[in-house]
Each structure stands twice: as structure tokens, then as C-alpha cells.
Structure 1
Amino acid sequence: VKYAEIYYPELLPNISTCKSPQEMMGATIKSYLAQKQNIDPKDIFVVSVMPCTAKKFEAQRPELSSAAGIADVDAVITTRQLNRMMQVFGIEFGSLEEEEYDRPFGAPTGSGDIFAASGGVMESALRTAFHLLTGADLEKVDFEDVRGMTGVKEAAVTIAGKTIRIAVANRLGNARQIAERVKQGDAPWDFIEI
């Protein structure tokens, strides 16, 4: 979002108004889970572990705080930082014993598994829309590289007779390529995830 605000402000109306998965989870923890477990949201400190450094800036955006001014996410560390911390403390993932993880929101789903992967939010949304509109489960989404655009993949999914063209881009350099096509009016996609 910050990239678009600086370089492509004319495209801001095209950006989803939904919070990112990181912010959705933080908001859910500090509202639903806090209420369910009778904890004051001010006493909860949410830390996200994310691969993207832009998530640090996102967590500081005041418009992503609750009406009471409580940040949804209090701190963000990158996966690289977590790895360094593990090394400093001599912790090796391979030597850790397996154990059950917390499930404060119930059993995980397939969509939840792919959410953090590149294109996972889009695929989860498509699977949900497909199921709600057809009553069936969407089989595999086959992504292909976009010719001449390294790091960009696309796919087409037909839902209830309408074909939806989607694109997924990794990294900001690839976001620029897609933004330029949208700006020029020759982007063939209905749904783009950066």
C-alpha cells in the first residue's frame, strides 16, 4: 500500500480495503479472542513473524488500530531476524521436539495453510468464492509464468460461468511491472496479489 501511495496514487482506488492477514489476525486476537478469554486487549502484545520488512511499517499505521487506539499488531520481526535470534540462543529447529500448537480459533483449514504463501490470499478467496457460488470445492489452481514478466504468475479460474483472470507478483520490482500495465489500461487481470 505504501508503495502505491508514493508511486501510483492514481491506483489506490483499485486496492482492496481489507486488512492484510497479519492485521486481520491481530484484530481478531485483540477483539474476539480477548473477549472469549476475558483479557483486556491492552494486556495483549501481538508479535508477527513475517518474511517482508514492509509489514513493520504496516503495523505502525495508525489507521490500522482499533477505535480505542490499540494497535492490532504491536511488533513485527522478519523470518531472517527470527533465524538470527535462534542462532544467537543456540536453538536449532531440527532438534526441537514436536508438540501440539495452540488452536485458539479451532482446527486449521487448507486456506489457512496457504495464506502466508505468495498468492495464498488470492487462492483462499477464490476457493471460498467458488465454494459459495457452486457448492463444490475448487480443484488445483494452475499458475503459469507471465511471458516477459519474471516473478509474475497468472491463472484463469471459471466460477459459475464467469472466468476470473488472476495474477500474483513477488517483490516490488514485479509490482511495478503490473502497476504500469494497470495504469496503461492493458492489464488483463481481474484480481492481482502483490
Structure 2
Amino acid sequence: GADMTIMEEGTELLNRLKQGGKLPMITSCSPGWIKYCEHNYPDFLDNLSTCKSPHEMVGAIIKSYYAEKNNIDPKNIFVVSVMPCTAKKFEAERPELAATGYQDVDAVLTTRELARMIKQANVDFVDLEDEAFDPIFGDSTGAAVIFGATGGVMEAALRTVYEVVTGTTLENIDIKEARGLEGIKELEVDLGDITVKAAIAHSTANAKTLLDQIRRGEKEYHFIEIMACPG
């Protein structure tokens, strides 16, 4: 799911940069941030990436491509996501997230809920036999692994864009604290014809600070990562 989001988001950013699309493009994988934006910053809604969050992308693919490939009626598929984020629960119920006529994801469990269920079922992982993972698609990339870390979405997308544009791998990204703005980080990536200016803000308090500066014309970016949760 993270890999699909990275490819889609990186491609969308590249298209906006080349074709004069709405900038800055802002990540859309945090449902808490999306709800906050809808209520408090509706003037930035057109800046949001059109990409679904990773687990919603996987749900949509399972109920379309995977279902067709395996000759399964989507109505007979029940998709459960296990997430550390409680906001994913209401995200899964959004009417926009029903690509096949059915909700892309049917239920969301938090990691704590899953842990409690495992304990209640008296499952002892130490005594379980090793078993191969059941992959729906191919192997994931290293970019997908860093997706959940601070700045991970931003870094993964920019690495993808850099490789598409230059044909080479981006070795290091220097992410620095924004001057005078605790909790907000900035970075620049040279793509040859353009230097992409990006920012990262985690927590709605930091998002507010950053977006208010953009509204006042004090800051300009091409790409912004915002997560509702701190860290």
C-alpha cells in the first residue's frame, strides 16, 4: 500500500510541477489531517494530493484487480486493516472511499485492539510454527518501510521523483528544522530544472503554524507532508 501511494503521489507531484498544477501539493494519507483541513483550511483542499491512504489503496485493489483476477465477487470480500491510528476508523467509512460500490475497507482495528484479541484468544507467538507471509502483490521497497516514520512520506515520494527525472538514486536528503519554527522541518531537492522546496509538519498545531505562514505569503513550498499525530 505504501509503495502504491509513493508511486502515485510522486507521479502526481511531478505532473503538477511540469504542468503548472496547484502548489504546494500536500500529502493526503493522514485522515486526521484531512478532517482538520476540511474544517479549518478549506482554501487548501485543492492543494491536497488526490491519492488515497495506503490501506485504502490496498482495499480498493483487493476488491477490484485482485477480485477479478481470482474470480471473486467483491461483495464476498471483507477487508480489515490493522492500524496504529484511530482516525483510520472513520476514514474507512467515508462515502468517497468506495471504488467498487463497496467500502474499500470494511473494518479497522487498532494495534492495541489486535493485541487484546490475541491475548484473549490465548495465542502464544513463541509456540507458533514459522510460516510464509501471504503476499497479495510483489515485494515492497525500502521506501515503503520508511513511510511511517517522521518525514517518511515526503522522503519516499521525493526519492521516487528524483529517480524518475534523473535516472539515478538520491543518496542523501538533508532535512533541517525550519528556522524559528520548532516542530517544522524543511528540505530541498535539486531536480535539475527546478529545486523542489518541501516542508514537514507533524501535529495539527504545527500544521496551523505552517499553513498560516503560507496564507500570509511568508513561506513558499512545492510539497508539504502533514500528519495529524505528533512524531
Q: In which range does the TM-score fall when normalised by the shorter chain?
A: 0.7 to 0.9
The equivalent position to 2:107 in structure 1, one of 47, 57, 75, is 75
Aligned length: 193
Q: Normalising by the residue count of structure 1, what TM-score does the alignment of the two structures yield?
A: 0.87
Q: Partner of 1:57 in structure 2?
A: 90
Q: CA deviation at 1:94?
A: 6.7
- CA change 1:138–1:94 in 2 (3 A) is farther
- CA change 1:83–1:172 in 2 (3 A) is farther
Within 5 Å, which residues of 2 pair with 1:69-148? 69-91=101-123, 98-148=130-180
Q: Is residue 32 from structure 1 mapped to residue 65 from structure 2 by the alignment? A: yes
SS at match of 1:83: helix
The CA deviation string for residues 75-127 of structure 1, in whole angstroms up to 9 with x for no partner, is 11222333333344455667765543122211221222223333333222212
Q: CA deviation at 1:7?
A: 0.8
Q: Partner of 2:44 in structure 1?
A: 11
Q: Partner of 1:170 in structure 2?
A: 202
* Contact in 2 for aligned 1:11/1:183 (Cα 8 Å): no
Rounded to whole Å, the distance in 1 between the matches of 2:210 and 2:123 is: 40
The CA deviation string for residues 23-53 of structure 1, in whole angstroms up to 9 with x for no partner, is 1111111111112222111111111122222
Superposed CA RMSD in Å reads 2.2
Rounded to whole Å, the distance in 1 between the matches of 2:117 and 2:181 is: 36
Q: CA deviation at 1:151?
A: 3.0
- CA change 1:105–1:167 in 2 (3 A) is same
Partner letter of residue 29 of structure 1?
I
Q: Partner of 2:214 in structure 1?
A: 182
Unpaired runs of 5+ residues, structure 2, are 1-33, 227-231
Rounded to whole Å, the distance in 1 between the matches of 2:117 and 2:219 is: 42
- CA change 1:140–1:185 in 2 (3 A) is same
Rounded to whole Å, the distance in 2 between the matches of 1:96 and 1:140 is: 40
Rounded to whole Å, the distance in 2 between the matches of 1:182 and 1:25 is: 33
SS at match of 2:185: strand
Q: Which moved more, 1:140-149 or 1:100-109?
A: 140-149
Identity of aligned residues (%): 53
- CA change 1:93–1:138 in 2 (3 A) is farther
Unpaired runs of 5+ residues, structure 1, are none
- CA change 1:76–1:185 in 2 (3 A) is farther
Q: Which moved more, 1:152-161 or 1:132-141?
A: 152-161
- CA change 1:159–1:107 in 2 (3 A) is same
- CA change 1:147–1:80 in 2 (3 A) is farther
Q: CA deviation at 1:191?
A: 0.6
Q: Which moved more, 1:19-28 or 1:182-191?
A: 182-191
Q: Which moved more, 1:117-126 or 1:35-44?
A: 117-126
